Amino acid sequence: MEKAYRIKKNNDFQKVYKKGKSVANRQFVVYTRKNKDLEHFRLGISVSKKLGNAVQRNRIKRAIRENFKVHKDDIIPIDLIVIARQPSKEMTTLQIQSSLEHVLKIAKVFNKRIK
């Protein structure tokens, strides 16, 4: 994922947490906040140390990033933070992808083309 598509700074994370809206399912929580400055989405990923060692956490983060690469053109310009919950550590990449698509549809971050 390119640098322009990432949220890295704590200040940016805090803005999305405080002023954004959240939706969730059992595996993920997604915070969204309108982004008026950019023409594309930005993504922040949070995976707690409670979910496992670095190998497990990085596997979850890679699966989340891969899902956003697939849907790169279908997401409206918005700031997103994805927080992985406990059940996500036992999931395969395809299960993570379908669960993440489900919660993103609830959050209404897709363009009208995706149903």
Q: In this predicted structure, what is the pLDDT of residue 52?
A: 93
Task: For residue 90, give its domain range.
Answer: 3-106
Q: In this predicted structure, what is the pLDDT of residue 35?
A: 85
In a domain, 112, yes or no: no
Q: In this predicted structure, what is the pLDDT of residue 44?
A: 95
In a domain, 19, yes or no: yes
Q: In this predicted structure, what is the pLDDT of residue 110?
A: 86
In a domain, 113, yes or no: no
Q: In this predicted structure, what is the pLDDT of residue 100?
A: 93
CATH of the domain at 42: 3.30.230.10
Q: In this predicted structure, what is the pLDDT of residue 23?
A: 95
Q: In this predicted structure, what is the pLDDT of residue 97?
A: 93
Q: Give percent of the chain above pLDDT 90.
A: 76
Q: In this predicted structure, what is the pLDDT of residue 115?
A: 52
In a domain, 21, yes or no: yes
> Which regions in the chain score pLDDT beneath 70?
112-115
In a domain, 74, yes or no: yes
Task: Give dist(CA 43, CA 29) in Å, integer.
Answer: 13
In a domain, 114, yes or no: no
Structural domains in the chain (count):
1
